[in-house]
Structures are given as structure tokens and as C-alpha cells.
Amino acid sequence: MDTAMKAVIDRGAFILGQEVRDFEVEYAQYCGVARAVGLDNGTSALELILRALGVGPGDEVIVPAMTFVATASAVSMVGAKPVLVDIDPKTDCMDMHAALAAVNDRTRAVIPVHLYGFPAPIGPLLSAAHGKFQVIEDCCQAHGAKVGSRRVGSMGVAGAFSFYPAKNLGCFGDGGMAITDEPGVADRIVMLRNYGERKKYEHMELAYNRRLDTVQAAVLKVKLPRLDDWNTDRRRVAAAYRIALAGTGLVLPPDAAAGDEHVHYMYAVRTKRREGLQAHLKAANIETGIHYPYPLHLLPVFEDLGYREGSFPASEALARETLSLPMFPGMTDGEVGRVATAIKAFGQAG
Ligand SMILES: Cc1ncc(COP(=O)(O)O)c(C=O)c1O
């Protein structure tokens, strides 16, 4: 990565340089789509996909109630209304039947999120979408995950990725990508990321600067060929946790369906005694996280959507109980064992 970054510095093409173009081609190939457009972060990817599809005021977009805030804020930022639906506790992802039940004449898109790296079973959405609404995949937590032979992001009209440093594929700062098979959508995002410019200084519509930096693309180019190995290693760590945590009372994350590939961005267990367990692990020098403590409908930013406590019980339960244990490629069996031993010392955690 040092060499790759130095090459960018030596050439001095920091904005939309060769590495951005190369990485876009490589990432599109990796995901199995025609086009990829490098952006400054995953939120921009969601927002620009929506704008490129013409989603705006008066439109509704269905999103899960339990996700990172950006899935829904991107919808609001284009002037559309996020319509929340509950999650399915069997997958922690959007309840596909609830999503279909929420579709109406104003629905322009549905955004399933492959939460924690779990490949959300979006088949029913894709079958129902035809001509009625678009499926945009939020893949910000699931680089490389597969539903059957298809990579996430390649099944809907477009997929949004974040390269935030902690992601399965992360850069040395912020970065993002929109992928699609639709040339018209890709071309529009190319314009929207660059001040709405068609040709140099020919600005067609109002737009910001949302470009992926060349230095970040250089880092991502080096890391991409290693992504599948890292994801395989995350699955090894998850399998080790499943054995080591048996009998602790924790609810362990769901396995992907046979033939699908989970990429375990998070190893999120569930416990009714979360705060106590988290403090106990912290005292043992084991860092954990909570993704996320609030479902979207209980955040002040989305108060005006009119939901209340009790609107989405499965999302609320997950927000109360979820705890992300350490998970990274290269985590040793000994480290997994240390986490499990500390959890067992806490007592029955379920
Ligand atoms: C599900 C989900 N969507 C969107 C985003 C936004 O990505 P970024 O932080 O790169 O803007 C994230 C980032 O963590 C995410 O987890």
C-alpha cells in the first residue's frame, strides 16, 4: 500500500486519477456488474443512486427500521419519504413480506440492507419489483457476500458500498462506490459526483463534489484481491465462536442459507443482559460495540415520520439486545477462546 500510495504522490493526479478508473473496473468485475462509480462515501452512493433514478419529493422509499441511519437519511436528503418496515429476527435484515405489504402507488424504491454482512434474501422483492419499484441494495456492511452465485449489489438495479476503514474492504479514510448494470444510471452518477459536469465546465444540473480520492483507490486496489480470503477467515472465526459460545445462553447470529455466503462484518450476538455483559467484557479488556442502540423510528431525526415505540417490535428488541463481539480476519482461536471464557465467567448471559 505504501508503494501504491507513493505512485499516486509521484504522479500527482490526486483527483479522478488512473487508480480510480482501474479500481472501478476491478470492483465492477468483482461484483459481477457492468459499471462501478467511485464516490466519497457510502451515504453518497445511496443518495446519488436515488437521484440518478429520479427519486424525489412525493416518492416513498421502503427501508428497514434497524440499520445505520444513512440508509434512511439518504432517502430524506433527496426529498423522498422513508417508509420503515420491521426486520425479520431470523436474519436481522428487512422483513421482505412486510416490505411488500408496504408497497403502494407512491413507492419508487425498496432498500434492503445486508446487515452485519448477512446476505439478505431479497428474491421475493426482486420478483415483485418488475416495473413497480426499484430495488437498491445497501451493501455497506457486506462486501463480497453472496446470495447463491450472485454478489450482493448485483441483484437490484444498483448497490451502494462504503469503504469506511473498519469495513470488510476499507480504505485509509472515507470512500464509497455505486455499482449498477444500467449504463444510464452509472453515467448520471458520474455527472452527479462531479458538480453535475458533462464536459469540463459544462454543468448540467446542481450537484456537489462526491468523488473517490485517487490515493484511496490505490489502497483499495491493493486490498481487493485479498477480500475473499479475509471474508473466508471471518467465516472461520464465526464458526469458532459458534462452538466456543455454545451453552452460554447468548443468541448467536444466524447462518446464511445453504449456498449463500455471509461475510460477518459484525459478530452480533443477542443478550437480555447486554449492559452488564458489555461492562464485564470491558473490564477484561475486551472491546465490544452496539450496532445500533436505537432503531431509526426512535431517533430524533426521524421523529416527524410519525412512528412511536412499539411500531417495530423486532427492531426494538434487536436494538435493546444486540452486542458486537470482536471480529476480524486473523483473529486466532485463542482470542475467540478468551472472549468465550470471559463471557462464561459472567454467567448465563441469555
Ligand atoms: C448500512 C450502512 N449504510 C450506509 C452507510 C454509510 O456509509 P458511509 O459511512 O461511508 O457514508 C453505512 C456506514 O457505516 C452503513 O453501515
pLDDT value, residue 348: 62
Asked whether 73 lines ligand 1 (CB < 6 A), one says no
> Which residues make up the CATH 3.40.640.10 domain(s) of the chain?
2-225
CB-CB contact of 88 with 314 (8 Å):
yes
CA 25 to ligand 1 center in whole angstroms = 22
Cα separations in angstroms, 126 against 120, 129, 156: 12, 5, 7
CB-CB contact of 75 with 63 (8 Å):
yes
For residue 289, the one-letter residue type is G
CA 179 to ligand 1 center in whole angstroms = 15
CB-CB contact of 148 with 37 (8 Å):
no
Under-50 pLDDT residues of the chain: none
CB-CB contact of 162 with 175 (8 Å):
yes
Q: Which three cell numbers stand for residue 200?
A: 469540463
Prediction pTM value: 0.98
Asked whether 159 lines ligand 1 (CB < 6 A), one says no
> Which residues make up the CATH 3.90.1150.10 domain(s) of the chain?
227-346
Q: Which three cell numbers stand for residue 5?
A: 500510495
Q: Which three cell numbers stand for residue 207?
A: 450537484
**What phi, psi does 335 have (nearest 5°)?**
-70, -40
CATH superfamily of 227-346: Aspartate Aminotransferase, domain 1 (3.90.1150.10)
Q: Which fold has domain 2-225?
A: Aspartate Aminotransferase; domain 2 (3.40.640)
CB-CB contact of 167 with 159 (8 Å):
no
For residue 250, the one-letter residue type is L
Q: Which three cell numbers stand for residue 303?
A: 421523529
pLDDT value, residue 347: 82
Query: For atom 4 of ligand 1, which residue has the closest CA?
Result: 70
pLDDT value, residue 349: 54
Asked whether 113 lines ligand 1 (CB < 6 A), one says yes
Map residue 56 onto helix, strand or coil: coil
Asked whether 93 lines ligand 1 (CB < 6 A), one says no
What is the enclosing helix (H) or strand (E) of 134?
Answer: strand 134-138
CA 106 to ligand 1 center in whole angstroms = 26
Say how far apart CA 118 and CA 120 lie, in whole Å: 6
Map residue 269 onto helix, strand or coil: strand
Count Cα neighbours of 345 within 13 Å in the Cβ-side half-sphere. 12
- β-strands 81-85, 107-110 pairing: unpaired
265: cis peptide before it, omega within 30°? no
